Amino acid sequence: MDNERTPVVGTWVTADRHIRQELLPDGRYDEARGRPNSAYTGSYTVTGHHIDYVDDSGFTATGDIRDGVLYHEHLVLHREDG
């Protein structure tokens, strides 16, 4: 994981905070949608500014961080303050 060039660890949220994605330091993620936590869980790897996700159920997704914004498939997430 290349967290030195592109820091990704932390919680990322959509503008309405409905979707919250926590990227953990051990290469795991936990995504909440609305009230339930852990709607999706899995692992991620970072190459430069690109993130590859593998959900525990087997599906895959990608994301890119540009100018401090995480573009994850059709979602736009910002680092949560605090």
Specify the pTM: 0.85
pLDDT > 70 fraction of the chain, expressed in percent and rounded:
90
| Euclidean distance between CA atoms 25 and 76, whole angstroms | 21
Structural domains in the chain, sorted by start: 10-79 (2.40.128.290)
pLDDT single digits (tens) 10-46: 999 999 999 999 999 999 999 999 877 788 999 999 9
Residue in this structure with the two tokens 């159920």, named with its chain if needed: 57
| Euclidean distance between CA atoms 51 and 48, whole angstroms | 8
